[in-house]
Structures are given as structure tokens and as C-alpha cells.
Amino acid sequence: MIIPAIDLIDGAVVRLYQGDYAQKTQYQLDPVDVVNTYADAGAKWLHIVDLTGAKDVEKRQLTLIKKMVDTGRMSFQAGGGIRTEADVAGLLDIGVKRVVIGSLAVKEPELVKSWIVKYGPEAIVLALDVNINAEGDKCIATHGWQEDSGVPIEGLLTDMLSVGAKHVLCTDISRDGTLQGANAELYDEMKKAFPSVVWQASGGIGSLDDIARLGPTNVDGVILGRALLEGKFTLEEAIACWQDA
């Protein structure tokens, strides 16, 4: 499945380069218009990152996200600095289907596991962003990629699967925002190692060829952000390419 992504800062559609707020591109687009445009093109899901809420939980853009959800045009998964159960409940209460949880899964795994049990595995997406070193170790980065946790993705996933975790959005940080192609080898390896996981590939996709290259990995979803916003290809083309991959 192709899943378009939208990052929001103070109501505006933006993209960050490798998670860096100082390297921000702002697009002159209305978020609700983007929802309708992507739905018209055939998208079934939208991935929302609340970058304002990630920096300041008091400023979560719930009103805007609710307006997007209330279009009823598709299903939504959303995240950005999820730290408490109130954050999870707040998004679910406004109709978001899946809450995306990143750093907290590393810092407080027992808490996140309790949410998977309470709200069900369909309600939680684990966003596991990895740094891959020269030895091939895949360690999860936290705090907006500013810190390397030293925690291998395989160990954390095994722990989360013990309570039924299902959805994982995995990003190779070195590729994100670069349009230099996704790390197909990473997703191929992860899908084989954890076949029960519904994998979403994210980061680096800049062409239809990049999408086609992910087909043989059997990854379940592909997140598209900057490439769509910058018109590298259309969402219709991406969906057709994925169906043929």
C-alpha cells in the first residue's frame, strides 16, 4: 500500500531534512486540501506527523488533525512526540485510527506494551528509526534522531511482539529526505526476520524506480513524503507502480 505523508508545523505543511527543524521546507498547501487531493488520487491512508506537538505537547495540533479526519476521505495514522497515554487517547478520540509511537518505545517499553494490550495492536504503529553502522548493526535513534539509543531494532521488536505488536514504520535515517532511494536490503531483511509484522518503509524514495525496487522485499506499505510534495511523480503513478511491483 502507498501511504502519503504530511508533516505539520503550526498548521503549515512542511518537510524536514533528516529530522532537522533548521532545515525546513514549507509548502503553500492547506492540509485539508491535501487530504482531499490524495483521496481523489486513490490513497486509503494518510500518515500525519505533528512536529509542533512533538516539540511542545501543549501545542498539539488536534483541532487541525480532527478537521482532516472529519473529511471522512480516508483512514489516518498520526504521531509526533507521543509521551503519555493522554496523547494516545487524544488522537484516538478525534478519529485517528493508529497512533505512531517512536522514542518512547525505546525509553519506556513496558508502558508502550501496556498501550498495545489496552488499545489493541491495530491502534499502535511503532516508528523505529535506525542508524546502521559499518558492522551492519541497526540501532534505534531517539529524540528526533539526535541520540543513538544503542538498542538494536531486533531486540526491541521481539519484546514488543510478545504482546502482539503488529505495525512498524521503519526508517533508515541516512536516507530520509534525500530522495536517494530506500534501503531495500533493510526491509527485505526485516520482513524475513519478522514476517508477522506489517512493515511500512520510509525514507529516501525519490522516483518510481525506488518504489518498484521495494516490491520484491514484500514490505506492506510505502510512505511517500517529499517526492509527492515536489512533484517527482503523482500519487496515481505511485499507486500504479506499487500494484505492478
Provide the pLDDT for residue 81.
87
Identify the CA nearest to 20 among candidates 47, 51, 63, 56: 51
Identify the CA nearest to 80 among candidates 103, 97, 63: 103
Q: Which residues are catalytic?
A: 7, 129
Pick the residue with more confidence: 34 or 15?
Answer: 34
Phi/psi for 138 (5° steps) reads -110, 95
Residue numbers of the domain that contains 200: 2-244
Q: How many domains does the chain have?
A: 1
* CA pair distance 58, 103, nearest whole angstrom: 18
pTM of the shown model: 0.94
Q: What is the CATH number of the domain that holds 28?
A: 3.20.20.70
The pLDDT tens digits for 129-183 are: 998 888 888 988 876 555 567 889 999 999 999 999 999 999 988 877 677 888 9
